[in-house]
Structure 1
Amino acid sequence: MPPMIKTLSRPPFPSGWGSIPTTLSNLSLSNTLPVGQSFLWHKRTLPAAGPDEPLEEYSRAIRNPCRVIFLRQSIHRLHYVSLLPDGSTSKDEETRQWLEDYFQLVDYPDLSLLYKEWRDRDTELFGKIEFDSKAIGVRVLRQDPWECLISFITSTNNHITRISSLMHKLSINYSKPLFTIEQFEGSSSITYHPFPIPEDFPDSFETNLRQLGFGYRASFIESSIKSLRQQFGSNPGSIEKGLVDLRKKDLDVIKECLISLKGVGRKVADCVMLMSLDQPSLIPVDTHVASIAARHPSFPSRLRNKTMSKQMYDDIQLFLADRWGPLGGWCQAVMFAADLPPIRPVSKLAQIKAEVSCSVSDESTLFESKNIVMVDQIIQDVEPISVAKSRSKRSKPTSDGAENGVVLEHKRTRRVSGMPKSPS
């Protein structure tokens, strides 16, 4: 019989919570957490309160020590508290330091200065965008490299809602629950599981991941963990330490380590390096970012209507880096988030189509043609399965991982008008 899971109550707000002074324009939880960087945050709408009271709550389990962090945001403060499995609460300096590191509040204390720099550097595109309230306060997270790596391997040819679902399934099936939290009236309770550590995975688990819905990505994850064990060892904590230590290495060394893993192409590697390995200049390029680049008045005509390749990836990345500077990855995050379409549920047929069209090869993908945010595109592009199979056979990966048949088309410059509403 499985052990009983404790049910706890969240600490009273605001008396039991700590807070960090910060404005919504300097950090927006709703514009940073649900937009395709991190996939294990739970979002809950709070009961109606006063005009300056938080409207949403974000929470997730973390380790060292195992606990659940709760976040709420008012106009001028980020409120936080940790709840431990024994029922005790903490608003201590350790949690505050974790948040300051995770949101990079100390290294980049004033986003307005960065936005101004990008407007000055790129007057033709960034400088002409009218950002509304949904496009402010966007930050690049400094995540745990182990979790970030597995997340973005899972992101291959996927979308935010499904990646989040798969990452939660991974946590539920491979790590022990901490406790269950009672929710507000009308909401279901949440049982929190921390992200599994490498030791939680057996030598062979691909079949189980396929049963959970990971599809061909299951072999990527199993193979990558085997490779990491060979490279960093099998002792507890050795893989996590090995990945964290990459932050001290040269860019070429980091990239070589990541690209050697099955399921890690250029875009996945760049995402992991930007969002967990202290490489703020890197600009991951996918169809979404490429379409943003194509709207730039100075975008080279030779790059328009071309099939994506390793050289194309490099050229687009260099074009944007020249305009956005040493924090180009952060600028990309703002543009990326501001340009997201509204997220809506993806039909089962759309998921099947994406799965079938990607199952012809286990090679890592340099350029994911249906990236993690193109929810509208995935829904609209649904074809009969027979057609999808035929199209997939004509689009085989090349030796460098690029997919033939992915064409970058020019789109007219338009106003970027806000962020998507993330599903609760």
Structure 2
Amino acid sequence: MYKNNIFLYPCPVSGRKNQMMGTNWRSIPCKIAELRLDIVLACGQSFRWKEIKPGLWRSVLAKKVWTLKQNDNELFYQIHCGHELETPTDDKHEVKTFSKPKKAQKQGNSDNHGTRVKKEVLPPGDLYFSNAESTLFDYFQLQTSLGELYKKWSSADANFRQVAADFTGIRMLRQDPTENLFAFICSSNNNISRISGMVERMCEKYGDKLCELDGQTYYTFPDIAKLASENVEQELRSLGFGYRAKYINQTAKYIMQNHNDNWLQSLRSVSYEDAHSELLKLPGVGSKVADCVCLMSLDKHSAIPVDTHVWQIASRDYMPKLTKTKSLTDKVYKEIGDFFRNLYGDYAGWAHSVLFSADLKKFQDLKTKKIRQDTQPIRKKRLNESTAKTKKKRKQEK
């Protein structure tokens, strides 16, 4: 059924294990205000999720094939095939289970990204699903309370408050850094549809086959060593990657020659400045791609990827003086990032993603007419304030 333009599945009759579509579904508690699959999985963070039916999303995650859906209060999942999650053979095992989300904390102030955990003893069968649920919590970063962040951002920004009325549940994914990096190397001068096609062709060519499901074959994302092979650039060019083929192959070679397979993952433990600086050394990686990787897979929550789209949002709704700039220079890039970091704080990258998603053409039908009208006075006020400051500055200079 549809509710507020979101396709929701009815609540299960009983229990967390439900017989639907001939396969068992399991669920974890997750209110739709904390996560909206229809936006988060389609807004250009990850490029492998496909909506196979209204409200049903499928992709490869952690080398397994998953199908997801949701209702108002639960996130449902199926695991169809793929590499087995580690399940010990003892009768009982001690595992970590997650509690309810807590308020977002500053970066680096707590272990396990601020997640409160408790230890619980589970038999082997249930342990498999406990590990699966931990994967979902980590991937969607459900330990971070989005409601608390929205309150903070809304109190700091009237424009965000208006946008958020129609765009709740938009959070950042915590992706595998390797997939995240090479997917965004494909993003140069590209759109979401074409990037998705390139990523899938890369997986088909160099990934490991997992299984066939409903007529579709699923593959893992290739490891860096495979992408570093000598013939990769030529093969990717033949698959339609153009100049991006060279950057993919050269970046993989650089990592293998100067680091190792775990190097990207290790950047999670360094500062934003250091991680960003290291990524800029990679062929084909500029500030925007580096910030995408920092934000979407390296736990740098205040990173702000600035492309022409974000530049337009900033100049239209926040920084009217930028309407006179003719190109996105390094100076303008930093100015926009610093503006949003000062406005939104430690999780500025998450807030920026809400504004970015709300401005995408594909999601315009989600906006109410009232929201469109209410944002106009805010933009006009900022323009008037910017004009007044400019006049005052010129007067002082005279």
Normalising by structure 2, report the TM-score: 0.72
1:152-163 superposed matches below 5 A: 152-163=184-195
Aligned residue for 1:178, secondary structure, equals strand
Cα deviations by residue, 1:150-197 (Å, 9 ceiling, x for unpaired): 011010111000000100000011123211112xxxxxx211111111
Q: Identify the residue that residue 75 of structure 1 maps to in structure 2.
A: 72
Q: CA deviation at 1:81?
A: 2.2
Question: How many Å separate the matches in 2 of 1:25 and 1:302?
Answer: 33
Aligned mate of 2:271, from 233, 244, 250: 250
Q: CA deviation at 1:302?
A: 6.2
Aligned residue for 1:262, secondary structure, equals coil
Question: How many Å separate the matches in 1 of 2:148 and 2:200?
Answer: 36
Q: Identify the residue that residue 225 of structure 1 maps to in structure 2.
A: 252
Q: Identify the residue that residue 148 of structure 1 maps to in structure 2.
A: 180
In the alignment, structure 1 residue 175 sits paired with structure 2 residue 196? no
Q: CA deviation at 1:290?
A: 1.1
Aligned residue for 1:285, secondary structure, equals coil
In the alignment, structure 1 residue 279 sits paired with structure 2 residue 300? yes
Q: Which amino acid aligns with 1:70?
A: T
Larger helix proportion, structure 1 or 2?
2
Pick the structure with greater CA Rg: 2
Q: Which amino acid aligns with 2:20?
A: F
Aligned mate of 1:43, from 23, 36, 51: 51
CA distance 1:95–1:261, change in 2 (3 Å): same
Q: CA deviation at 1:13?
A: 2.3
Q: Which amino acid aligns with 2:221?
A: F
Show structure 1 runs of 4+ deviating over 4 A. Answer: 85-91
Question: How many Å separate the matches in 2 of 1:313 and 1:85?
Answer: 41
Q: Identify the residue that residue 223 of structure 2 maps to in structure 1.
A: 197
1:371-386 superposed matches below 5 A: none
Q: Identify the residue that residue 398 of structure 1 maps to in structure 2.
A: none
Q: Identify the residue that residue 263 of structure 1 maps to in structure 2.
A: 284
8 Å contact from structure 2 (residues 315, 321) kept in 1 = no
CA distance 1:86–1:196, change in 2 (3 Å): closer
Q: CA deviation at 1:130?
A: 6.0
Question: How many Å separate the matches in 2 of 1:195 and 1:87?
Answer: 16
Normalising by structure 1, report the TM-score: 0.68
Q: Identify the residue that residue 132 of structure 2 maps to in structure 1.
A: 95
Q: Which moved more, 1:278-287 or 1:15-24?
A: 15-24
Q: CA deviation at 1:309?
A: 0.9
CA distance 1:150–1:85, change in 2 (3 Å): closer
Aligned residue for 1:92, secondary structure, equals helix
Q: Which amino acid aligns with 1:193?
A: Y
Aligned residue for 1:295, secondary structure, equals helix
Question: How many Å separate the matches in 2 of 1:257 and 1:95?
Answer: 32
Q: CA deviation at 1:319?
A: 1.4
User: Could you tell me the percent identity over the aligned residues?
Assistant: 36
CA distance 1:190–1:330, change in 2 (3 Å): same
Q: CA deviation at 1:244?
A: 0.7
Question: How many Å separate the matches in 2 of 1:206 and 1:230?
Answer: 17
Q: Which amino acid aligns with 1:252?
A: E
Where do 5+ consecutive residues of structure 1 fail to align? Answer: 1-10, 46-54, 183-188, 233-237, 344-411, 415-424
Question: How many Å separate the matches in 2 of 1:288 and 1:37?
Answer: 15
Q: CA deviation at 1:35?
A: 0.8
1:320-331 superposed matches below 5 A: 320-331=340-351
8 Å contact from structure 1 (residues 170, 196) kept in 2 = yes
In the alignment, structure 1 residue 25 sits paired with structure 2 residue 33? yes
Question: How many Å separate the matches in 2 of 1:337 and 1:301?
Answer: 23
Cα deviations by residue, 1:79-118 (Å, 9 ceiling, x for unpaired): 1121235999996111100110000001x1x312211111
8 Å contact from structure 2 (residues 48, 199) kept in 1 = yes
Q: CA deviation at 1:303?
A: 6.5
Q: CA deviation at 1:413?
A: 4.0
Aligned mate of 1:129, from 142, 163, 179: 163
Paired residues, what number? 308
Q: Identify the residue that residue 164 of structure 1 maps to in structure 2.
A: 196
Question: How many Å separate the matches in 2 of 1:341 and 1:138?
Answer: 16
Question: How many Å separate the matches in 1 of 2:346 and 2:84?
Answer: 44
8 Å contact from structure 1 (residues 131, 338) kept in 2 = no
CA distance 1:57–1:249, change in 2 (3 Å): same
Higher relative contact order (CA 8 A, sep 6+): 1
Q: Identify the residue that residue 121 of structure 2 maps to in structure 1.
A: none
